[in-house]
Amino acid sequence: MAMPRIDFYVLPDQKENGRAALACRLVEKAYGLGHTVYLFTTSEPRAVALDDLLWTFRQDSFVPHERFPLTGEEGSPVLVGTAAPAMVEAQVLINLSDTLPEGFERYQRVVELVDQHPEVLAQSRERFRQYREQGCSLETHKL
């Protein structure tokens, strides 16, 4: 099984909602390309905030999404949740947690969002090193 491509998107600042807003833009792009996406975070309040932000981040944008675990039978192309990525079927994983996500290798692509907050930078460097040790192909995009 091929390891996923890992993309680190590095913001030039540390605005309060910068990583969440970037996540929404990348979700919209991936959805537009026909990919399924799992937006993973480890806190319930953050998952709720991301869910809300996906409805409102751009006026003319519509990204069909729902919370995971699903309440209905049919899954949306975009899921937002706190469940381990190993439990979710999608092509793209956007990791908004602070650690290497369990089950990341099941995805085609993993997206890491980095801002200039010292703690975020330190955790991101650690994940970069862990992905590299697992043999993943890594790309860094400075925004």
The enclosing domain of 43 has a CATH number of 3.40.50.10110
Mean pLDDT, the chain, whole residue set: 93
Q: Which helix (H) or strand (E) holds 44?
A: helix 44-56
Question: What's the whole-model pTM score?
Answer: 0.94
What is each CA distance from 135 to 2, 47, 141, in whole angstroms?
Answer: 10, 30, 19
What is each CA distance from 46 to 19, 22, 42, 55, 109, in whole angstroms?
Answer: 11, 14, 8, 15, 22
Report the domain count for the chain: 1
d(CA 114, CA 2): 25
State which residues form the domain around 12.
5-142
77 neighbors 64 (Cβ within 8 angstroms): yes
Q: Percent of the chain, pLDDT > 90?
A: 86
